[in-house]
A = this chain, B = another copy of it.
Amino acid sequence: MHQSKLFTKTRKEAPKDEVSKNAQLLIRAGFINKEMAGVYSFLPLGLKVLNNINNIIREEMNAIGGQELFLTALQDKKVWEKTNRWSDEVVDNWFKTKLKNDTELGLGFTHEEPLTNLMKDHIKSFRDLPMYPYQIQTKFRNEARAKSGIMRGREFLMKDLYSFSKDENEHNEFYEKAKQAYKNIFSRLGLGDKTFLTFASGGTFSKYSHEFQTLSEAGEDIIYICDKCSVAVNDEIIGEQNSCPECGNIELRKEKSIEVGNIFSLGTKFSDAFELNYNDEKGEEKRVIMGSYGIGPGRAMGTVVEVLSDEKGIVWPESIAPFKVHLLSLGKNEDAQKIYNQLTENGIEVLFDDRDKKAGEKFADFDLIGIPYRVVISEKSLQAGGVEFKKRNSEDSEIISVEDLVSKIKF
């Protein structure tokens, strides 16, 4: 894409009321717009990153048998009364609204209830299980405070998968697969090294639930890491679980972290409320066993910005970058457009800075926007034998011939 055609502009300052680093950088670089506290729109560059993250999540969910669907935001009071979660006394972050006839509606903050209700139409027999529906859909949460940028919004995208299994064994088998899928996701997002499987409180059905926590000073959570096993214990349960649940190590390292994902064994909590049963091979009626598995793609994006950016701007991992190459044309030259065509014809996504701007401004925008590879073409580079090539996360640059450029970038 030609940068002169991109409608967003970078800016030197973020809005004064924006206190989080992720939103400050993303606003300055033109990835998001702040509509109000905790409510952010995604502009073209931001939407590209978000879609890249969604697609990684989608691939990993499909690989473990996930089937994508798309539930609604508007919620029916009757469905939520079955689990006693309609009341504002029980759930303190509902947004509610009304039909013209005064019927109260909610805006979904999660979807266990409507999905369990829906699955009653589709699960009757052991042949209908296990099933793993999931969605990537907007949640609404009426947070009292929203100061973490896109890491904790009042309106945000969430991938939520729910597992429906015949028995505990089948549930546990999938739960382990989901754990691995989550590890794959965070690794593909460039967060693998800093993300720890974290033991958290479990509820009545299982001793623990599990969170994925990424080390960051911007985190709202505290975890205790066992460096032997590379797992952690959440602050909430450290009182009862003050050693590593895997090796018993009591020397745990305290760190601030961001909760980037969580997985829960729900047991029969929701299938009890909705009487979600199936007939087993012997014709006996049994309760379905459930689990839930969440990741916020927007929060993941914010976390990448918090963790990987430097003093100059954002540093996107190649897997989710809005473009692979930022092509900077300095001064007027016809070769820039040729190189742009050559790269795009080879399937390489390029942001081509063809604007009539000074070199310094173009370099600063490259650093702020954070595309992985910078290719500069100028009179100087051509005289030196080609184009200047540099990675965003490295100081080293080299002159390479135009002929070598494609293969350099592709491999």
Contacts and interface: CB of A to CB of B under 8 A. Distances in A.
Interface string A61-82: 0000101111111111000000
A379 to B, nearest CB: 24
Interface residues of A, number: 55
Given A44-B68, A68-B44, A154 B74 contact: yes
Contact of A142 (B8, B30, B99): B99
Contacts of A40: 72
A95 interface: yes
Given A97-B97, A131-B7, A118 B41 contact: yes
B47 A69 contact: yes
A274 interface: no
A114 interface: yes
A307 interface: no
Contacts of A74: 35-36, 39, 140, 154-155
Interface stretch (A119-127, A219-227, A263-271, A380-388): A119-127
Nearest to A356: B127
Nearest to A111: B41
Contacts of A121: 9, 11, 33
Contacts of A154: 74, 99
A68 B43 CA distance: 7
Interface string A187-202: 0000000000000000
A155 B39 contact: no
Contacts of A67: 5-7, 44
Contacts of A68: 44, 47
A172 interface: no
A1 to B, nearest CB: 9
B72 A35 contact: yes
A114 B76 contact: no
A174 B222 CA distance: 54
Contacts of A90: none
Contact of A97 (B33, B107, B118): B107
Given A6-B67, A97-B96, A100-B144, A41 B114 contact: yes
Contacts of A245: none
30 contacts: A4-B127, A5-B65, A6-B67, A7-B67, A7-B119, A7-B123, A7-B131, A8-B122, A30-B122, A35-B76, A35-B114, A36-B74, A36-B105, A39-B74, A40-B72, A41-B114, A42-B70, A43-B69, A44-B69, A46-B69, A47-B68, A47-B69, A47-B70, A73-B73, A73-B140, A74-B140, A74-B154, A97-B97, A99-B142, A100-B142
Given A9-B128, A73-B155, 6 more contacts: A5-B65, A7-B131, A35-B74, A42-B69, A46-B69, A100-B144
4 tightest A-B CB contacts, nearest first: A7-B131, A42-B70, A95-B97, A41-B71
